[in-house]
């Protein structure tokens, strides 16, 4: 059995539920924490015995949500200790933690650092009041600026800032200003997400938002290219469709996922992958807890991928990254051969400036990233 390379821990609680978010989330009430933490710990222990091979050094551990920063520092410490007791966390492992601006006080950030967290991901979204209001965030621009300052002064060298663009009724200029702020603050890592209407979210049910998105959605393409050009000039590497970093600061958790590695996800709705088997957990808090009370794996869905599905995932994930798809490696790994027709498409993409292609490596340019889904469906095996 192959090594487990990364772990993910889902903390579903949020101060408020964002109208654009499709993750497994739950309104935050401190009374909910204890039972959830107990269930989470059971799952962590359950999986550890199930996977003997997991006793290999883990290279990335990620606390995501929801809003992990709704947790008290003691709870964070408790979880970290529990994980360390069941899995071997490598010396140089990246231990990342998502923090919302309203929680990003100097004291909290320092506390995380001494607990062993070595990478912070700040859910800033924007420094523009209109954008934050349109996104229904419960922090404002002043709080955001303060959080960013606190983070820069906290001693955390490795951190990420999340920005969201394309919010309804907001000017394009607001996003350009956000980028200028980032150029000044120089976070080591930046995630830029264009707003998507995801099924089941409040935005997706809101007619006004839907209409606005239908009308202004197309301008996201130019915003995407603008950001890519701007940040690249600032020394950032546009290493994945939505991610930028300064040299050497790629998010290691994400790299494991994107390279088809093995990872275990704990908590409501968390996703896991191991050697061609993918599963995810119950999203509903109570159901999740009840399953674990009975010491059952809280799995809601599981699939064994066929060779072809794995090969298609390989294409899909590689094309989202600047490193791209290494054809000989893909052929070896999945046992399929790259067809003439696929090369023809690659060559045409190269001619149109949408990809770098030399017959063995296919890597999309930012123009190509914009069409990654379409290109993937063209290249996928049927």
Partner 1 sequence: MSRHNQIRNFSIIAHIDHGKSTLADRLIELTGGLSKREMEDQVLDTLELERERGITIKAQSVCLNYRARDGQDYMLNLIDTPGHVDFTYEVSRSLAACEGALLVVDAAQGVEAQTLANVYLALEQDLEILPVLNKVDLPSADPARVAAEIESVVGLDASQAVQISAKTGFGVEEVLEQIVAKVPPPSGDTAAPLQALVYDAWFDAYLGVMVMVRVVNGTVRIGDTIRFMAAGKAFEVATLGKFTPNKMEVDALTVGEVGFLSAAIKIIHDAQVGDTLTMKANPAKAPLSGYAPVKPMVFSGLYPADGEAFDNLKSGLEKLALNDAALSYELESSVALGFGFRCRFLGLLHMEIVQERLERELDISLITTAPTVVYQVHLKNGEAVMVENPNLLPQATRIEHIAEPYIKGRIITPTEYVGGIMKICLDRRGEQKGIQYLDENRVMLEYEFPLNEIILDFYDKLKSSTRGYGSFDYDHIGFRKGDLVKLDVLINGEPVDALSLIVPRDKAPHRGRELVSKLRRHIHRQLFEVVIQAAIGSKIVARETVSAMRKNVTAKCYGGDITRKRKLLEKQKAGKKRMKQIGTVEVPQEAFMAVLRLGE
Residue with smaller CB distance to partner 1, 150 or 163? 163
Q: Which stretch binds partner 1 (CB under 8 A): 28-36, 89-97, 253-261, 283-291?
A: 253-261
Determine, following the binding rule CB under 8 A, whether residue 141 of this chain makes contact with partner 1.
no
Residues 262-321 that bind partner 1 (CB under 8 A): 263, 265, 270-273, 278, 280, 301, 303, 309, 312-313, 316-317, 320
245: how many CB neighbours lie within 10 A of its CB?
21
Give least dist CB 46 to partner 1, A. 18
Q: Is 275 exposed, middle or buried (0-12, 13-18, 19+ CB in 10 A)?
A: exposed
SS3 per residue for 124-156? EECCCHHHHHHCCCCCCHHHHHHHHHHHHCCCC
Binding marks (x or -) toward partner 1, 199..228, rule CB under 8 A? -------------------x-xx--x----
Phi/psi-derived region of residue 353, left when phi > 0, alpha when psi is between -120 and 50, beta in every other case: left
Provide the minimum distance between the beta carbon of 285 and partner 1 in the complex, in angstroms, as a whole number: 17
Helix axes 340-351, 372-379, angle to 10 degrees: 150
Tell the smallest beta-carbon distance from residue 111 to partner 1 (Å).
Answer: 25
User: Per-residue x/- marks for partner 1, 362-381, CB under 8 A?
Assistant: -------xxxxxxxxxx-x-
Site for partner 1 in 33-72 (CB under 8 A): 64
92: left (phi over 0), alpha (psi -120 to 50) or beta: alpha
CB environment 118-142: b (16+ within 10 A), e (fewer): bbbbbbbbbbbeebbebbebebebe
Q: In what helix (H) or strand (E) does residue 39 lie, and over which residues does it extend?
A: helix 30-50
Does residue 229 belong to the site contacting partner 1 (CB under 8 A)? no
Helix axes of 307-319 and 372-379: crossing angle, nearest 10 degrees: 150
Task: Among 63, 212, 239, 258, indicate the residue that binds partner 1 (CB under 8 A).
Answer: 258
Give residues in contact with partner 1 (CB under 8 A): 8, 23, 64, 193-196, 218, 220-221, 224, 240-242, 254, 257-258, 263, 265, 270-273, 278, 280, 301, 303, 309, 312-313, 316-317, 320, 344-345, 348-349, 352, 369-378, 380, 382
């Amino acid at each position: 059995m192959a090594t487990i390379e990364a772990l993910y821990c889902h903390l579903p609680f949020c101060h408020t539920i964002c109208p654009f978010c499709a993750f497994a989330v739950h309104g935050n009430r401190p009374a909910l924490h204890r039972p959830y933490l107990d269930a989470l710990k059971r799952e962590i222990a359950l999986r550890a015995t199930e996977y003997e091979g997991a006793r290999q050094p883990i290279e990335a551990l990620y606390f995501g949500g929801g809003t992990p920063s709704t947790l008290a520092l003691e709870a964070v410490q408790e979880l970290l200790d529990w994980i360390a007791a069941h899995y071997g966390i490598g010396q140089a492992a990246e231990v990342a933690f998502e923090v919302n601006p309203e929680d990003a006080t100097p004291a909290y950030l320092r506390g995380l650092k001494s607990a062993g967290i070595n990478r912070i991901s700040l859910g800033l979204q924007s420094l523009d009041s209109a954008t934050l209001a349109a996104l229904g965030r419960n922090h404002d621009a002043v709080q955001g600026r303060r959080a960013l300052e606190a983070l820069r002064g906290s001693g955390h060298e490795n951190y990420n800032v999340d920005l969201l663009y394309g919010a309804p009724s907001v000017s394009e200029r607001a996003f350009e200003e956000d980028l200028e702020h980032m150029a000044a603050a120089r976070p080591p890592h930046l995630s830029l997400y264009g707003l998507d209407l995801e099924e089941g979210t409040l935005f997706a049910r809101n007619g006004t938002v839907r209409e606005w998105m239908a009308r202004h959605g197309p301008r996201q393409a130019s915003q995407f290219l603008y950001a890519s050009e701007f940040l690249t000039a600032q020394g950032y590497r546009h290493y994945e469709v939505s991610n930028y970093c300064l040299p050497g600061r790629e998010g290691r958790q994400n790299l494991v996922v994107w390279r088809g590695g093995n990872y275990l996800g704990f908590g409501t709705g968390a996703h896991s992958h191991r050697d061609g088997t993918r599963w995810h957990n119950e999203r509903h808090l109570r159901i999740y807890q009840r399953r674990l009370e009975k010491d059952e794996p809280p799995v809601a869905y599981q699939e064994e991928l066929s060779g072809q599905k794995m090969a298609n995932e390989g294409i899909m994930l590689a094309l989202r990254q600047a490193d791209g798809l290494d054809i000989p490696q893909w052929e070896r790994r999945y046992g399929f051969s790259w067809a003439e027709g696929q090369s023809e498409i690659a060559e045409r993409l190269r001619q149109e400036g949408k990809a770098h292609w030399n017959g063995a490596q296919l890597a999309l340019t930012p123009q190509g990233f914009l069409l990654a889904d379409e290109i993937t469906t063209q290249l996928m095996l049927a």
